[in-house]
């Protein structure tokens, strides 16, 4: 029997670890420039996704497919992003996050160009699968941004970035919907190409290469392929089950094949690949309690959010007789903006108060508020009610996203940040890749069987989607209880004025030091987090 590869010793070619930024040493002008550019990238990507979501019923009609099949447009993008995120994150750690991010942006521009010319539904799904490389942009950018800000300013920077998601949706949904309704969804794709190329050029001109590099690291292509293949099988079964039949050989075959692939994936990642210390799901990082908690919360919350958003767009555009609101693409784009506006405002507020209040109280509040919002939407009967209830959902999502990510960012060693944020992106988009097909399956199963609305989803389908989304969001949010707080009143008062104090003076228990050492410490294990929780 072949033995697993031996663990590799640390390479002598690895560059010395840079000194983490402090309030006294960081370049505020450059750090803010990186954050603004990353925010612009988020807006451009959300412009494309923002126009696509309200256009789904039209795309469904153009290609003659059902609701469950249409969900593949979303889930194929998310599933490929899951497989590509850890690969790109590791390449960023090896070759430099700036180089890899520029390559990703150019690849994303090419795939966006191709998607707009899709002649068939199968071609569009394939193009969207390639376009999933866009999901690797955010973790690479977050890793770059984290390196430039001192610990004290990271929560505010992360909160402002979360606010850009709301701003991006608030701008992209009505604007993209307007272009799609007047000129077609293909034109919206074409109109985005210059902006994608422009931000890629700004990356080349404005951003310096990351100081944190791991040239000895190896990319886990096998693990990525097994994970992507497993997700593809499950997503395909959920998306096509209504067409093929839920008990048909094809549906069950794809479902079983997808689930079976997770077995060798787990064996390879948790045992075999662990021996080489470079797995795609890094057990070393997952053993950090805050990393595991962040990943679990965002997986479940992402599933609920994608499930509910998919259902909400269809409800806005479906006829009133089925519980919908008979809107067009533009109407749906405008009606979803209260959620985006609420996300923006609350994310900004959360970024200001999270350092003093703490991550866990805000994240728990966010889970409760989001679940409440989904329940209210499920019982909403008029458009004004739905718009008001969207504000509740947006506020809850913003509280969750702007707070929970700090558990990971303020725990992981900066040299592992590319890998950690990429792994977090894997977990987040696993939920997203499954959420859309679940919603599609519900909307394709609970339908009118006769009359002029035959084949159209009933109001029960929408209610079930919102109830499921609310329940899993609440349950997922409760996982944050098991995390270790990294912010809050005691930490703010104790450490706000001590960013440069030597560790031996600041606190003798080095293994639980919440701030990075300002001088190299050869006794510190290479795998210990430089920003550990208390």
Between 95-99, 172-176, 305-309, 331-335, the lowest mean confidence (pLDDT) is in 172-176
530 domain residue, yes or no: no
pLDDT of 242: 60
Confidence category of residue 373, pLDDT binned at 50, 70, 90: very high
480 domain residue, yes or no: yes
- Asked whether the CA dihedral 274, 276, 281, 284 is positive or negative, the reply is positive
pLDDT of 165: 65
CATH number at residue 287: 1.20.1250.20
Confidence category of residue 282, pLDDT binned at 50, 70, 90: low
pLDDT of 236: 73
Cα separations in angstroms, 418 against 193, 324, 327: 27, 43, 42
Residue 450 or residue 180, greater confidence: 180
pLDDT of 502: 35
**Helix/strand/coil (H/E/C) assignment for every residue in 48-104:** HHHHHHHHHHHHHHHHCCCHHHHCHHHHHHHHHHHHHHHHHHHHHHHHCHHHHHHHH
Which whole number is the average pLDDT over 460-470? 88
Q: Which residues contact 326 (CB under 8 A, 6 or more apart)?
A: 317, 318, 319, 320
Residue 533: pLDDT above 60? no
H-run or E-run covering 207:
none
Please tell me the total count of domains within the chain. 1
Question: What dihedral angle (degrees, nearest 10) is formed by the CA atoms of 480, 485, 488, 493?
Answer: 180
> How far, in Å, CA of 46 to CA of 221, rounded?
28
Residue 494: pLDDT above 60? no
Question: What dihedral angle (degrees, nearest 10) is formed by the CA atoms of 201, 204, 206, 210?
Answer: 140
pLDDT of 485: 82
282 domain residue, yes or no: yes
Mapped onto helix, strand or coil, the DSSP state of residue 528 is coil
123 domain residue, yes or no: yes
H-run or E-run covering 261:
helix 249-267
Which whole number is the average pLDDT over 83-87? 76
pLDDT of 509: 39
Residue 477: pLDDT above 50? yes
pLDDT of 389: 93
247 domain residue, yes or no: yes
Rg over alpha carbons for the chain, rounded to the nearest Å, is: 23
Residue 103 or residue 14, greater confidence: 103
pLDDT of 518: 38
Which whole number is the average pLDDT over 319-337? 80
Q: What is the pLDDT of the chain when averaged over all its residues?
A: 74
Between 245-254, 428-437, 510-519, the lowest mean confidence (pLDDT) is in 510-519
Q: Give the highest mean pLDDT range of 39-43, 273-277, 454-458, 522-526.
A: 39-43
pLDDT of 529: 36
Residue 449 belongs to domain spanning? 28-206+219-495
Confidence category of residue 453, pLDDT binned at 50, 70, 90: low
501 domain residue, yes or no: no
pLDDT of 279: 64
Query: What share of the chain in percent tops pLDDT 90?
Result: 5
Q: Give the highest mean pLDDT range of 215-219, 283-287, 393-397.
A: 393-397
349 domain residue, yes or no: yes
Confidence category of residue 81, pLDDT binned at 50, 70, 90: confident
> How far, in Å, CA of 16 to CA of 438, rounded?
47
Q: Are 233 and 254 in contact (CB under 8 A)?
A: yes
Confidence category of residue 302, pLDDT binned at 50, 70, 90: confident
Confidence category of residue 9, pLDDT binned at 50, 70, 90: very low
pLDDT of 391: 92
Question: What dihedral angle (degrees, nearest 10) is formed by the CA atoms of 405, 410, 414, 418?
Answer: -10
Both structure tokens of 234: 């499950």
pLDDT of 35: 80
Both structure tokens of 478: 């409760």
Number of Cβ atoms within 10 Å of the Cβ of 219: 17
Confidence category of residue 151, pLDDT binned at 50, 70, 90: low
Residue 39: pLDDT above 60? yes
Confidence category of residue 11, pLDDT binned at 50, 70, 90: very low
pLDDT of 31: 79
532 domain residue, yes or no: no
């Amino acid at each position: 029997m072949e033995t697993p590869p031996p663990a590799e010793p640390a390479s002598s070619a690895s560059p010395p670890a840079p000194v983490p930024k402090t309030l006294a040493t960081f370049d505020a002008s450059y750090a803010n420039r990186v954050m603004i550019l990353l925010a612009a990238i988020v807006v451009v990507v959300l412009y494309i996704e923002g126009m696509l979501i309200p256009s789904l019923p039209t795309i469904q009609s153009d290609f003659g497919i059902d609701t469950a099949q249409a969900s593949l447009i979303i889930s194929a993008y998310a599933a490929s992003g899951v497989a590509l995120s850890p690969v790109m994150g590791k390449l960023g750690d090896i070759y430099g996050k700036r180089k890899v991010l520029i390559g990703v942006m150019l690849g994303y521009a090419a795939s966006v160009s191709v998607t707009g010319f899709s002649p068939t539904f199968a071609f569009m799904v394939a193009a969207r699968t390639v376009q999933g490389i866009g999901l690797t942009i955010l973790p690479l950018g977050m890793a770059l941004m984290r390196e430039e800000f001192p610990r004290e300013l990271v929560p505010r920077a992360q909160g402002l970035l979360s606010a850009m998601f709301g701003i991006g949706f608030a701008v992209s949904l009505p604007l993209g919907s307007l272009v799609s309704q007047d000129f077609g969804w293909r034109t919206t794709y074409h109109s985005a190409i210059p902006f994608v190329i422009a931000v890629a050029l700004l990356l080349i001109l404005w951003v310096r290469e990351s100081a944190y590099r791991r040239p000895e690291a190896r990319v886990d292509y096998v693990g990525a392929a097994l994970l992507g293949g497993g997700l593809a099988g499950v997503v395909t079964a959920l998306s096509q089950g209504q067409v093929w039949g839920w008990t048909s050989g094809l549906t069950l075959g794809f479902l079983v094949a997808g689930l079976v692939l997770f077995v060798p994936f787990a064996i390879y990642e948790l045992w075999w690949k662990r021996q080489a210390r470079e797995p795609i799901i890094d057990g070393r990082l997952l053993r950090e309690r805050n990393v595991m908690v962040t990943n679990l919360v965002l997986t479940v919350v992402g599933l609920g959010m994608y499930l509910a958003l998919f259902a909400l767009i269809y409800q806005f555009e479906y006829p009133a007789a089925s519980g919908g609101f008979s809107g067009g693409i533009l109407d749906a784009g405008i009606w979803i903006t209260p959620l985006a506006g609420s996300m923006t405002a609350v994310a900004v507020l959360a970024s200001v108060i999270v350092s003093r209040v703490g991550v866990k109280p805000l994240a728990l509040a966010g889970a409760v508020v989001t679940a409440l919002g989904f329940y209210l939407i499920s019982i909403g009967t008029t458009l004004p009610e739905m718009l008001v209830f969207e504000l509740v959902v947006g506020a809850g999502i913003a509280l969750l996203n702007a707070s929970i990510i700090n558990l990971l960012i303020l725990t992981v060693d900066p040299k592992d940040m590319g890998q950690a944020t990429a792994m977090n992106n894997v977990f987040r988009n696993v939920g997203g890749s499954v959420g859309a097909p679940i919603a599609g399956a519900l909307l394709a199963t609970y339908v009118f069987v006769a009359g002029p609305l035959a084949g159209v989803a009933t109001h029960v389908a929408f209610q079930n989607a919102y109830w499921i989304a609310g329940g899993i969001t609440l349950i997922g949010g409760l996982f944050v209880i098991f995390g270790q707080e990294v912010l809050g009143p005691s930490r703010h008062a104790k450490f706000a004025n001590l960013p440069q104090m030597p560790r031996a003076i600041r606190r003798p228990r080095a293994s639980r030091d919440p701030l990075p050492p300002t001088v190299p410490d050869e006794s510190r294990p290479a795998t210990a987090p430089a920003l550990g929780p208390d």
